[in-house]
Structure 1
């Protein structure tokens, strides 16, 4: 569409104005910036989190698979756009890279993973608080956040996202050190908690999670228990539900099936029988690990190292051979504890994460001693252990045939044939827990029909082939925004692209279970199977995710000569339901095992203690029965419905919001396109068929800007963003792109003197019926931007518009003028004082409407906060009054009993006890008074804050005045 500089300025302000919290279009710029498809429940969740500027946060508790990360990304994008850049994400160790990559890939947001090494380097470089930075969103683990709590508390966070927040569900218990430390450190910060399982075992867990966000939502633990522990009381249930609704939001998968379709996952089990040599190696190493005392393992790491050795033993003889060699070297004095750990972690890449998760339960045993203090008896035992390890190492080295690898060829042939039948890409993602097994499989498969069809993916990606792929990728994408400048991120992107376009197989370590989207692949092979169900779910989730078009096949290998392995698989398959169905493991099932590490530890304990078939079966039967109780009877219906509020009215609201949001986003994208086209008319060549352009020259010579090509990700009717084909050399053009930002800034600053515009309604493609009556008429229009800085910052485009015959045109309709083509007549004009004053009066009326709307919204925010504080005070009063009444009754009873006593000594003793009770009652009364004082102080603080914000300024800025004619 042909637009004028006046259209361009109007659009530039419209594209960058700040909207109030409850505006459905608040996140339009963030959604246009993001490479994600619009789903109404995600926008609704983001709006919920922002619903009040006085709110301290929210619990977003959508079921798994509905995109809580996307919801958080929308929120973070909005804050980033508002220049609020002190943002923190606390996530499980294994999910840090996923967050890092998702923010970059989907939202173009920079982030930095803060861990011990980078933290210490920052301190060395002179940064007194490495958390305090604005160049990227900070991501760290739970344990790191706990250990650096002092630094966390010294940072003025704009927002903290806590992922998998159910890990903090027991924060109401003083013994929960991690939860309480993090809660205390972030007490003053606004927080968003993400969890699919907000309620698992006890209603008190909800109290704990909510208290992390806002201590004043409920009273203390005693008052909460006294009011809400008996959920059979309908009144209590309704009140608790009402109290939770402003702070918790939950959407279920079944509620959004009209927007999101899911494919199924199907399991194939490939049984194998190890050779006698392989089985013998397994038995002797397993028996070794069950010994009461082991000298080869470091102090305090017996449980952890035993777990890793078992995993590597199950992986391949190549994997266990390398680790046995490291243990031999340690007993020979060639390796110390730290170098042994480095050796093991180079093979088992999630060593650090596993160590982190197992730390709390690893007891420090003095089973290793200084060589100078070892007596002769111990020296002989160490020597005997060393000989055993050398023998095991030799046995592992002598095994040439790998039965599981032979079966892999059969399984791959079957799986790829299934892909062909399904019409899916003939690609397979193979997971192993060992780098040595990965290398072995690469060589094995190269020799057995897959030459030049394999790509490796691991934590370092430093093999020759990966380096060649990376070099070719850099050359291919030179001069585009695909290259982020982070070698780690770019190399990962290069390997994924190579897998998508060239390779048939990706052999990956656990590194690929984090942070990459492989939905173009629908065959997952677990060559090694983790014991932690959440790790398995994470692996399968790389392919079985929103956007997957085909059913996903999951292949697992089962050692038929190992009873414990068979029972583990039975639990993972039947109890956790990981491998079949539409959604995989349910929230309640995964929630039943907490982080998954506890389950992993239970399995490890069975392997370490059970020495025969009967004991193995008994131990697994006991564990299965335990799981049956915790999984089958997870939460009754009444407690579930506490967080589920989804009737037809809400469904219709989502439907309407989706329609409105898509309509507004479509208009937003079009206006960004028209504005850019207007500004770059002398600088670029445009293609209108696919919303793309290429710069002929840079309009901002002082800034480094790629020449292009550029493309606006504007889906066609019925198309999704994820379906748009993006050529390799193309940059994604969006409002947040540096080029777009500079264009909008320049247009906003451009001169727009009084001018005459002719709006060509007849030749405008989009017909606006209400404007037809103004054909053949003329008038005057004044456009201004009105900024309110109150509880939040808002920008409003105010239009005062009237015809030459003095008919006032409604503001809403006046905005539609800028959807009509126009030409500038460029005739010098002066506006008469009469029309100038008339437009000023219309503007004042429009400003009054905006003011009233703003005040009404602020009154609602204020009333909500005051109600919450009053409820908190009432909760405290209920609890303390009940305790005081109980003490009154007991004192009365004790006095009556004392009066009946004859023995003076007993009488004195009884009176002493009564005095103690009276003292306790006085203390309770004092606490009640202090609680009332506390609430009064909180109200004072709130009133002071409201007064301060209400005093903040407003500003009106004229953008332009035009005389218009409609033809």
Structure 2
């Protein structure tokens, strides 16, 4: 039995020191602790609540079905009853409830890998990797939960490394020095990580070293070989990214990359801007718009088949010096966002509008924000087609494919062609496509379509490897843990039997045998748990294989959205 857990003791030391620094900085007293398993998560929860942080710890994992999470979720539902904050998805709402509880009530969140994506925790600036993953992208994702737009302080990252384990030390050196994960806010980690794909192969190489190397010399040699192998790829990736920045961005753009946060106010992100413009287009005869506040007053119902109540609507953009959660909205104002009923009907109406082939004149000089990548197209004309591609495999995925050509026969990259729709434009004459242009646009679209289908298949393959690895690791951890417990119980039973034989009174012997029977019953239950867990793992693997088999039969749907003839003046 482990009497003292030094790693857990150092967790308290790390928290104490970190909270002292947060207090000096004026930052929130919040800490996000990442673990690799729910067993460790539960252990830390019990330890922290018993020793120092009672009622200050919250759990976040893939299921969130513990009593505390359920209670938090029910309270959150009651608090926001009748508001559009409730999305209707129990999974998403439960995640939101736990995040809100962490922000408003708790001091510490203990999270598994489930919190490494899709969660915004910019109110927390302390991340502790209690269990260090070997995949550098997983670490980057963890840090990204706190280091994101709206974070007011440098995010501090505390990593737990066993310095007596040479393999652990070398893994950390790779992550810190080679992948530059902890170099600062604008380190080179994004550039470097792009050179290793999704990190699964790298993680497998680390696992192989742990399994095959026994001596310090073997470990050192294996990691030296791995570093040398990675060196050319990473160096080439860094050089490529830097060259792209220096060669393709003019001085004005490079200067703007150093964002002056003091000047940011009332900015909408790109997605919200598109929704705002779309709303203005559809409701131009039914609402008065205030572009400065991104709000509008609806005075009529544009839809006859659904009830839309007139009133005030406001988009929650980020105002200077404020977070979205700090903005006060009057009680009689509707929060306008893409999930709102009115926005959904606007989107559906726009999707159903006819899109005949038209001439569209884009005005570069009359657009407030100039886009340097379009400079070379001023005065040119051509054709552009947009197609929606839907792939139904392991998940449903939608893509927009753009094919753009000039009258001279040059093909415009989709990323640049997409920029056209950031310019002010005017719809002109109705046109017809000639067969030659139709053929060129179709061939170009088909090439982009095939690239996406191939990439989707490769990504699903990697996802399969990751999920199978997770199940195998879970099986190994569960098996080792239960077998250790069974072995300990066998030793305890053997010891008790020996002690019972030495007892003199019959009463003592009977009592001892009763205790032995309890231990034997517990051992049998552990064995049954081992078999049951193995059955559960086999079932999950079977379900995963079934899903993958469905995925292999990709259902691909393509739909032409519109074709235009374009010109830029």
State TM-score, norm by structure 1.
0.34
Aligned residue among 598, 601, 626 for 2:204: 601
Matched position secondary structure for 1:595: coil
| Deviation at residue 631 of structure 1 after TM alignment | 2.8
Mapped partners of 1:405, 1:640: distance in 2: 46
Query: In the alignment, what sits opposite 1:725?
Result: 327
User: Are positions 1:402 and 2:5 aligned together?
Assistant: yes
What is the correspondence of 1:501-580 to structure 2 with a 5 Å cutoff?
501-580=104-183
- The question of whether the paired residues in 2 share the 8 Å contact of 1:519 and 1:548 is answered with yes
User: Are positions 1:591 and 2:200 aligned together?
Assistant: no
- CA gap of 1:523–1:789, structure 2 versus 1, over 3 A, is same
Mapped partners of 2:19, 2:202: distance in 1: 33
User: Are positions 1:413 and 2:23 aligned together?
Assistant: no
What are the Cα deviations for residues 31-56 of structure 1, in whole angstroms up to 9, with x where unaligned? xxxxxxxxxxxxxxxxxxxxxxxxxx
What is the correspondence of 1:715-794 to structure 2 with a 5 Å cutoff?
718=320, 722=324, 725=327, 731-734=334-337, 737-739=340-342, 789-790=356-357
| Deviation at residue 740 of structure 1 after TM alignment | 6.0
| Deviation at residue 403 of structure 1 after TM alignment | 1.6
How many residue pairs align between the two structures? 384
Mapped partners of 1:643, 1:588: distance in 2: 15
Matched position secondary structure for 1:554: strand
Aligned residue among 36, 41, 48 for 1:433: 36
- CA gap of 1:669–1:622, structure 2 versus 1, over 3 A, is closer
- The question of whether the paired residues in 2 share the 8 Å contact of 1:431 and 1:527 is answered with yes
What is the correspondence of 1:57-96 to structure 2 with a 5 Å cutoff?
none
- CA gap of 1:793–1:469, structure 2 versus 1, over 3 A, is farther
- The question of whether the paired residues in 1 share the 8 Å contact of 2:358 and 2:564 is answered with no
| Deviation at residue 497 of structure 1 after TM alignment | 1.0
| Deviation at residue 559 of structure 1 after TM alignment | 1.3
- CA gap of 1:483–1:510, structure 2 versus 1, over 3 A, is same
Matched position secondary structure for 1:866: coil
| Deviation at residue 414 of structure 1 after TM alignment | 1.1
| Deviation at residue 421 of structure 1 after TM alignment | 1.7
Query: In the alignment, what sits opposite 2:406?
Result: 863
What are the Cα deviations for residues 269-305 of structure 1, in whole angstroms up to 9, with x where unaligned? xxxxxxxxxxxxxxxxxxxxxxxxxxxxxxxxxxxxx
Matched position secondary structure for 2:182: coil
- The question of whether the paired residues in 2 share the 8 Å contact of 1:470 and 1:495 is answered with yes
Mapped partners of 1:938, 1:530: distance in 2: 54
- CA gap of 1:653–1:594, structure 2 versus 1, over 3 A, is closer
Mapped partners of 1:461, 1:724: distance in 2: 27
- The question of whether the paired residues in 2 share the 8 Å contact of 1:469 and 1:494 is answered with yes
Quote the RMSD (CA, aligned, Å): 5.3
Matched position secondary structure for 2:109: strand
| Deviation at residue 422 of structure 1 after TM alignment | 1.8
Matched position secondary structure for 2:248: coil
Matched position secondary structure for 1:500: helix
- CA gap of 1:865–1:481, structure 2 versus 1, over 3 A, is farther
What is the correspondence of 1:279-290 to structure 2 with a 5 Å cutoff?
none
Query: In the alignment, what sits opposite 2:439?
Result: 941
| Deviation at residue 859 of structure 1 after TM alignment | 6.6
Aligned residue among 488, 497, 500 for 2:91: 488
What are the Cα deviations for residues 54-97 of structure 1, in whole angstroms up to 9, with x where unaligned? xxxxxxxxxxxxxxxxxxxxxxxxxxxxxxxxxxxxxxxxxxxx
Mapped partners of 1:443, 1:692: distance in 2: 48
Mapped partners of 1:480, 1:440: distance in 2: 37
- The question of whether the paired residues in 1 share the 8 Å contact of 2:32 and 2:124 is answered with yes
Q: Which has the higher contact order (CA 8 A, sep 6+)?
A: 1
Query: In the alignment, what sits opposite 2:76?
Result: 473
What is the correspondence of 1:631-710 to structure 2 with a 5 Å cutoff?
631-632=234-235, 634=237, 636=239, 640-641=243-244, 644-648=247-251, 703=306, 710=313
Structure 1 unaligned segments of length 5 or more: list them. 1-397, 749-786, 797-811, 813-853, 870-936, 955-967
- The question of whether the paired residues in 2 share the 8 Å contact of 1:456 and 1:507 is answered with yes
- The question of whether the paired residues in 2 share the 8 Å contact of 1:477 and 1:728 is answered with no
Mapped partners of 1:940, 1:699: distance in 2: 36
Mapped partners of 1:528, 1:544: distance in 2: 19
- The question of whether the paired residues in 2 share the 8 Å contact of 1:453 and 1:503 is answered with yes
Structure 2 unaligned segments of length 5 or more: list them. 367-377, 385-403, 413-434, 444-559
Mapped partners of 2:5, 2:77: distance in 1: 38
Q: Could you say which structure has the larger radius of gyration?
A: 1
| Deviation at residue 408 of structure 1 after TM alignment | 0.5
State TM-score, norm by structure 2.
0.55
What are the Cα deviations for residues 2-52 of structure 1, in whole angstroms up to 9, with x where unaligned? xxxxxxxxxxxxxxxxxxxxxxxxxxxxxxxxxxxxxxxxxxxxxxxxxxx
| Deviation at residue 566 of structure 1 after TM alignment | 1.4
Matched position secondary structure for 1:789: coil
